[in-house]
Amino acid sequence: MQTLGDLFRTTRERKGISVTEVSEATKIREALIHALENGHYHVFTSETHAKSFLRTYAKYLCLNEEKVLALYRRDRELNKLKINDNYPTRIKLKTLIPLADYIFNSKNILRLVIGTTVILIGYFFYSILLSVNAPPSIVIISPKNNEVIRQETFTIEGYTNSPQVKVIVDGVIAEYIDATGRFIVNARFNQPGLKRFNIIAENQFQKRTEYSLDLIYHPPQKTQEKKSIRIKNNSQFEQKILIAFDGKKIFDEFIIPTNESREFEYVSNIEFKNFNFEALSIYLDDDTEPIRSIDSTEFSINIERERVILRIK
């Protein structure tokens, strides 16, 4: 029969999450996580204390909270039966009868009802006092701390213990998407590299919990497309031309035979000098008409913000 501790442990291991990662994400000490996975509920200071950590751990693992609490109650009952089994079971019938008469008389029943009522009322006000004084809990589901993000804008998702808690990420208020306290908020990077996102959870009693999420923005590298230029020699003599590619200071010499064409590729800019502009026709990329505005022995073509700019010298 699967226990609650088994459910926690197998779910965590199936997701490939270590106890240390759970502790960092939920702010629950590793010793308490081991206690939850082994059913050692006696280490918690109170029932409310134990259930608070159960809910936080369940939300982190995306488990059904009602199922988790039901397994918790069943495990507690089984532990009680196990303890009771250590007591002797052979009790003489004559000792049971006076005991039953003592327990189930009207006065004791009334005392029991009154005592139970007082305890429940005290527990109710104690729970309210705890909720007022306790800061809200917050668990970030995605992205993980130190995760590499490829997009400039992305979504942060997490849980709090109540939809009444205000969650703010770098000045942006999160939006709750269901009644369990699950929230999302849009975030963005200003530039590539490491950025720390400050997350603040504040309840209606002005109790705050602060959380830092370190993320790395690494945008995909853009590939630069090459441009091409074609030069045709229209004269009866071969033509010499000097060309420098992509910002180079050294000009290479090229010879274009008569009535022939040469094609050159470049990425950002290409520069020409010392040529007879009247003898040549110059075409950009796949153009079928040559550039008509060149009337100098020197010119350059630059690509700025994906625009082709022709500069005549």
- CATH code, domain with 151: 2.60.40.10
> Six-digit token pair at 85?
């089994």
CB 291 within 8 A of CB 282: yes
Last-in-domain residue among 197, 217, 237? 217
Positive or negative torsion for Cα 12, 14, 16, 18: positive
Strands 153-160 and 166-169: unpaired
- Taking all residues of the chain, what is their mean pLDDT, rounded to a whole number? 82
- Say if residue 169 is exposed, middle or buried (CB neighbours under 10 Å; 0-12, 13-18, 19+): buried
What is the predicted pLDDT for the residue at 91?
38
Same domain for 304 and 209 = no
Q: Cα separation of 123 and 255, whole Å?
A: 96
What is the predicted pLDDT for the residue at 182?
92
* Domain-located, residue 162: yes
CB 254 within 8 A of CB 185: no
Per the structure, the count of domains in the chain is 3
Same domain for 173 and 263 = no
Same domain for 243 and 305 = yes
* Domain-located, residue 58: yes
Does the pLDDT at position 263 exceed 60? Answer: yes
pTM score: 0.36
> Given pLDDT bands bounded at 50, 70 and 90, which one contains residue 68?
confident
Same domain for 155 and 114 = no
Of 39-53, 72-86, 101-115, 130-144, give the lowest mean pLDDT range: 72-86
> Given pLDDT bands bounded at 50, 70 and 90, which one contains residue 143?
very high
Tell me which of 289 and 96 has the higher pLDDT.
Answer: 289
Does the pLDDT at position 275 exceed 60? Answer: yes
**Residue type at 147 in one-letter notation:** E
Residues forming a β-bridge with 255 = 240
In the chain, the percentage of residues whose pLDDT exceeds 70 is: 85
Does the pLDDT at position 186 exceed 80? Answer: yes
Same domain for 108 and 57 = yes
CB 47 within 8 A of CB 62: no
Of 129-143, 175-189, 224-238, give the lowest mean pLDDT range: 129-143
Neighbour-count burial for 117-146, b at 16+ CB within 10 Å, e otherwise: eeeeeeeeeeeeeebeeebbbbbbbebeee
What is the predicted pLDDT for the residue at 305?
59
* Domain-located, residue 222: no
Which residues form the domain of 259? 227-312
